Amino acid sequence: MSKVALILGSLRRPGQGIGIASWLTPVLRQALNNPNSRHPLQSKVDVVFVDPTKPPLPLGPITDGTHVPAEIRDPAKHPNPAVREWATFVSSCSGFVVLSPEYNGSYPGELKNTLDHLYWEWRNKPVVVVTYGGSGGTRCAALLRSLLGGAFKMQVTEKGVAIKWPKGSGNVPTEGEAPEWLQAFEPDALEAIEELKGLIAKSKH
């Protein structure tokens, strides 16, 4: 069984992230395992939610000056045990969905730190960018796409998801049915996931 990681980029609690992830996870799981799609995958795919508040995250800023991540190609060679665990997990994933809020026109610092602790582990991995915010997080998405596809050489899907929520709607519930305004973004999510499946299928050949 292969796996796709859904990485939440914000430590903020309460917030919209956990609720959006609760809605997106089953959508992601069902779409990835749909044998009737344009890009059916040969093996079952597990979706793993990465909560940045739980080990091995948060990793915090890089304080070890003995090396830079680009110098380490073997996940087992990272000197910090938490980083080593994170590197091993990332290496084991077939693809990623990065779910991030927009903070003042950019992505959260904790997400950047999470990414920056590794280098080769991200290379060539397929990824979908999903952002959320009052304007859909489009500025954050543009910066993330540049970072992931440029610096880390990941395969970023052309299709992303920009979730804009209505003012005064409150936090997305973490259990039960998602609000209608959020469900309206499911077609965008399905289109992006289908593209992700295509990239995963190609990367396995």
Question: Given the structure tokens 């409150």, which residue do they identify?
Answer: 170
Average pLDDT over residues 168-189: 91
Mean pLDDT of the chain: 94
> What is the C-alpha separation between 97 and 40, in angstroms, rounded?
18
Q: pLDDT tens digits for 24-51?
A: 999 999 999 998 888 888 889 999 999 9
Could you please state the CATH topology (level 3) that the domain comprising 2-203 is classified under. Answer: Rossmann fold (3.40.50)
> What is the C-alpha separation between 108 and 61, in angstroms, rounded?
12
Average pLDDT over residues 78-95: 96
Cis status of the peptide bond prior to 14, with omega within 30 of 0: yes
Q: pLDDT tens digits for 102-122?
A: 999 999 999 999 999 999 999
